[in-house]
Amino acid sequence: MTQFQGSHILSVNQLDLDSIHTIFSVAERMAPYALREKRTRVLDGAILGNLFFEPSTRTRVSFGCAFNLLGGRVAETVGMASSSLSKGESLYDTARVLSTYSDVIAMRHPDAYSVREFAEGSRVPVINGGDGPNEHPTQALLDLFTIQKELNQGGRGIDGMHIAMVGDLKFGRTVHSLSRLLCMYKNINFTLISPTELAMPDYVIADIENAGHKVTITDQLEGHLDKADILYLTRIQEERFPSQEEANKYRGKFRLNRSIYTQHCKSNTVIMHPLPRDSRAQANELDNDLNSHPNLAIFRQADNGLLIRMALFALTLGVDSQLEKYECAV
Ligand code: CP
């Protein structure tokens, strides 16, 4: 992908290393605006259609705040019940209509490939905020951005790193998208830790192996963390299971707390999680006793999400070179 302006962002498969570097370099330039040190009105008059047909805290609000911070306004649709999709309207018709009301659309939907189908009817760029168990490209970009920053601080890099992905790797769309982005780097060791029934899909493993990386698959947490530079935890995606009882079979199987971390990980292992973490007692995959640990990067991930989403709006709307021109008083 070399041309962002006017393009949909639907899958990490559209991206190459050059486009990732472009996004990261624009994201770095967004920091003073996100920190309120500077202000720009570069998207004054523009409208974001923020369509979330599945629950979300970070992705929905950070898309909205990112657009606001660039001077634009946000029109929200939250939940299927508040949309005429619930009356049988097609994604195509919905897209044709809503894309005349807005300049760019961010969308989350429970069905795989639904955002792609929606984009076919849209006259404006559509950004995938998560389509069922399939992909979450903006999360993968903010995860990769975070991994790069965290490792660089300690003099490490992405090439040659070890990453352990833990939890529901079958339904966890963030690990699908992140794995594919990491395929673009060199000599990565992937340790994929999940219950056998929730293993990483074969097509993602094939992509990783075909890109020349090493994959270890296990259903045991302890004994497989000692080399990890990045420990990426995920929750059991209960909304993808036929029943709570079925999801409960897997809750609490893998838990990280300070004692397990100290015993089994390197002192510089970075702890990541896309959030939300399931803090209910029967799950608790990432314990609060790690909240003050300096290697816990989960809230830095969320902070970086704002920068990445600001960058994607600036690039898809073609205003990335005009941020400074439209600066105004803070
Ligand atoms: N990481 C993530 O997608 O969080 P939300 O579901 O809260 O948006």
Rg of the chain in Å (alpha carbons): 20
pLDDT for 147 = 98
Whether residues 195 and 281 fall in one domain? yes
CA of 257 to the centre of ligand 1 (A): 22
The answer to whether residue 273 is domain-embedded is yes
Calpha distance 210→190 (Å, rounded): 13
The answer to whether residue 218 is domain-embedded is yes
The answer to whether residue 7 is domain-embedded is no
* Torsion, Cα of 282, 284, 287, 291 (10° steps): -130
The answer to whether residue 261 is domain-embedded is yes
Whether residues 234 and 319 fall in one domain? no
CA of 133 to the centre of ligand 1 (A): 13
CA of 277 to the centre of ligand 1 (A): 10
* Structural domain count of the chain: 2
Answer yes or no: are the C-beta atoms of 94 and 85 closer than 8 Å: yes
For the chain, what percentages of helix, strand and coil (3-state, to nearest 5) are there?
40, 15, 45
Whether residues 153 and 278 fall in one domain? yes
Which CATH number characterizes residue 243's domain?
3.40.50.1370
Atom 5 of ligand 1 has which residue's CA nearest to it?
A: 56
pLDDT for 281 = 87
Q: How far is CA 47 from CA 9, 124, 201, 212, in A?
A: 17, 11, 37, 43
Q: Which atom of ligand 1 is nearest to the CA of 60?
A: 8
Ligand 1 pocket residues where CB is under 6 Å: 56-59, 130, 139, 274-276
CA of 3 to the centre of ligand 1 (A): 27
Whether residues 143 and 204 fall in one domain? yes
Q: Give alpha helix (H) positions in 121-268.
A: 137-153, 173-182, 202-210, 244-248, 258-264
pLDDT for 1 = 64
Whether residues 312 and 220 fall in one domain? no
CA of 180 to the centre of ligand 1 (A): 19
Whether residues 192 and 318 fall in one domain? no
The answer to whether residue 203 is domain-embedded is yes
Q: Which atom of ligand 1 is nearest to the CA of 136?
A: 3
pLDDT for 223 = 92
pTM, full prediction:
0.96
Residue 148: domain span = 137-302
* Torsion, Cα of 306, 309, 311, 313 (10° steps): -130
Whether residues 118 and 143 fall in one domain? no
111 Cβ contact list (under 8 Å, min separation 6): 131, 132
Q: Which atom of ligand 1 is nearest to the CA of 54?
A: 6
Q: Is 61 exposed, middle or buried (0-12, 13-18, 19+ CB in 10 A)?
A: middle
Whether residues 322 and 297 fall in one domain? no
Whether residues 42 and 125 fall in one domain? yes
Q: What is the DSSP string of 81-139?
A: GGSGGGGT--HHHHHHHHTTT-SEEEEEESSTTHHHHHHHT-SS-EEEEEETTTB-HHH
CA of 275 to the centre of ligand 1 (A): 6
The answer to whether residue 279 is domain-embedded is yes
Answer yes or no: are the C-beta atoms of 12 and 140 closer than 8 Å: yes
Structure tokens at 324: 């400074």
Series of mean pLDDT values for 10-residue runs along the chain (330 residues): 89 97 98 98 98 97 98 97 95 97 98 98 98 96 98 95 98 96 98 98 97 97 95 95 94 95 97 96 93 98 98 98 96
The answer to whether residue 213 is domain-embedded is yes
Query: 3-class SS at 187?
Result: coil
For a mutational test of ligand 1's pocket, the pick from 275, 277, 304, i.e. the residue with the most ligand atoms closer than 8 A to its C-beta, is 275
For a mutational test of ligand 1's pocket, the pick from 78, 109, 139, 239, i.e. the residue with the most ligand atoms closer than 8 A to its C-beta, is 139
Reference 306, options 109, 72, 59; nearest CA is: 59
Atom 6 of ligand 1 has which residue's CA nearest to it?
A: 56
Structure tokens at 38: 């500077």
Whether residues 147 and 278 fall in one domain? yes
The answer to whether residue 3 is domain-embedded is no
For a mutational test of ligand 1's pocket, the pick from 51, 53, 54, 59, i.e. the residue with the most ligand atoms closer than 8 A to its C-beta, is 59
pLDDT for 329 = 94
Whether residues 128 and 252 fall in one domain? no
Whether residues 311 and 218 fall in one domain? no
Q: How do strand 214-218 and strand 189-193 relate by DSSP bridges?
A: parallel
Instruction: Tell me how many degrees the CA angle 277-283-285 measures, rounded to the nearest 5.
Output: 50
